[in-house]
Structure 1
């Protein structure tokens, strides 16, 4: 047995605890009956969750974030499927450059990306439009869908496709009946990961939203600049809950270990 095993285990446990402690504290504070950000012993209350659902700005922003994340994840997945198939199955000397182009939003700071998109939308007359906001989020989340779909295609056994083609099936039917079902876990995992990142995006969204398209993370940021009360903790706890549910679904569908490999 490795003598350093217990030490490494304790170190990893402390790192995880240090990472999760702020989230756990916020979730506990969300149930406080007090008017301040305090943990009031064993007393719990749902008053601040009720206040969230009665606050129209948070409710409208939640629906904006939900529809935005659904649209952005769907568009990015629709773009990533043919792009990933082209890069994996038809490699050429420009494949590396094209792959880097598709994955470049991962390395560009979202602050810089937000300023650039704001300038672009102002030039084309799309500033504040929900449609342009969807395109902006699609740009940011496409790398996540690309990596997972590419990972699914790299490990794909093409013998079933070749057998179907030799029996007279068209390429369209082969794609719909064989290829698509076999890479569906990667597609679903990519879509869910794109949804999570779009729903939680705040840095870039600050620059490209308008008063009618404010997302929930941006609304939380604006609210926090004016006042800090347990309602912020309640909203944060709800967002943590949504993210945890989405990650559980992602793990069941695709596997978080494969997601981490795809993102590395």
Structure 2
């Protein structure tokens, strides 16, 4: 095993390099002063970043994505906390069915979800509504929040809860004073992971957005179909930066190793 160590390390390094190379190249291209997609070899410029902030459509779409991610992550977390408590602490007949139902968005391709939600919104007259778009994103990101809250509750020591109940504390008091603070890292981590997935969602959003609610990933897709220039690279670099910052915060709050276990 020790003789294979350097080879395994080299293999892992190559895999990481293969995965990160496209993003690194995009970020480097974003600093080019040229009008074409070229890697700057001598001069670096913030020209295309200034163009992004001066582009009204991209800025509107950015704020649409931010507010959408904030709302959908909050709804997903609010649903995940009581659902996780029910799934981990109570044994009832529909437990397996509810668990599969909450996790089903992970199994269904987002393309299929997008078509189904578009049909449903058309039938109920909700096409183009920001509220329905929030509900659609909440449906997609709820499994991510749920898995982290469940992971936090699985290893939860209930002795403090039992002590509070024996002293006469009401269930609501036990939850707000003891349970929630102790699982808060998992709840916060689930919220952040739901925010990241909502902010980056594009496949389903293409079907359920309207001209007034276009998100940033959808705007990037639409722009790429019309023209390809360094502006696209600058927007991609900014999106990567926002996602990386959220992942760093998630790692500091909950830990990425625990996130991977919770998603398994």
Shorter chain as normaliser: what TM range? over 0.9
**In the alignment, what sits opposite 1:103?**
103
* Contact 2:31/2:40 (8 A) holds in 1: no
Shift of 1:94: 2.1
Instruction: Give me the whole-angstrom Cα distance separating, in 2, the residues matched to 1:123 and 1:201.
Output: 24
Cα deviation per residue 1:195-226 (whole Å; 9 max; x = unaligned)? 00000000000000000000000000000000
In 2: Cα distance, 1:207 partner to 1:87 partner: 32
Q: Which residue number in structure 1 is paired with residue 61 of structure 2?
A: 61
1:149-168 correspondence runs (5 A): 149-168=149-168
Contact 2:28 2:40 in 1 (8 A): no
Deviations 1:84-139 (A, max 9, x none): 10111112232111101000000100000000000000000001100000000000
TM-score by length of 2: 0.99
Q: Distance in 2 between matches of 1:91 and 1:116?
A: 32
Quote how far apart the aligned CAs of 1:33 are: 0.4
Which residue is equivalent to 1:51? 51
Question: Which residue of 2 is the match for residue 39 of structure 1?
Answer: 39
What residue number does 2:17 align with? 17
Matched residue count: 264
- What is the alpha-carbon distance in structure 2 between the residues aligned to residue 171 and residue 215 of structure 1? 41
Indicate the residue corresponding to 1:175 in structure 2: 175
Identify the residue that residue 78 of structure 2 maps to in structure 1.
78
Distance 2:94 2:15 in 1: 41
RMSD: 0.7
Unaligned residue ranges in structure 2 (runs of 5+): none
Alpha-carbon deviation of 1:40? 2.2
Partner Cα distance (1:42, 1:93) in 2: 67
2:128 partner SS:
coil
- Structure 2 SS opposite 1:214: coil
Work out the CA distance in 2 between the residues paired with 1:253 and 1:8. Answer: 30
CA distance in 1, matches of 2:40, 2:141: 39
Name the counterpart of 2:211.
Answer: 211
What residue number does 1:116 align with?
116
After TM superposition, the runs of 4+ consecutive aligned structure 1 residues lying more than 6 A away are none
Q: CA deviation at 1:42?
A: 3.1
Provide Cα deviations, 1:163-200, integer angstroms capped at 9, x if missing partner.
Answer: 00000111100000000000000000000000000000
The CA distance in 1 between the partners of 2:261 and 2:93, in whole Å, is 25
Tell me what 1:5 maps to. 5
Cα distance in 2, alignment partners of residues 189 and 67 from structure 1: 18
**Alpha-carbon distance in structure 2 between the residues aligned to 1:70 and 1:21:** 30
| 2:135 paired residue number | 135
> Aligned partners of 1:32, 1:40: CA distance in 2, in Å?
5
Q: Counterpart of 1:39 in 2: which secondary structure?
A: coil
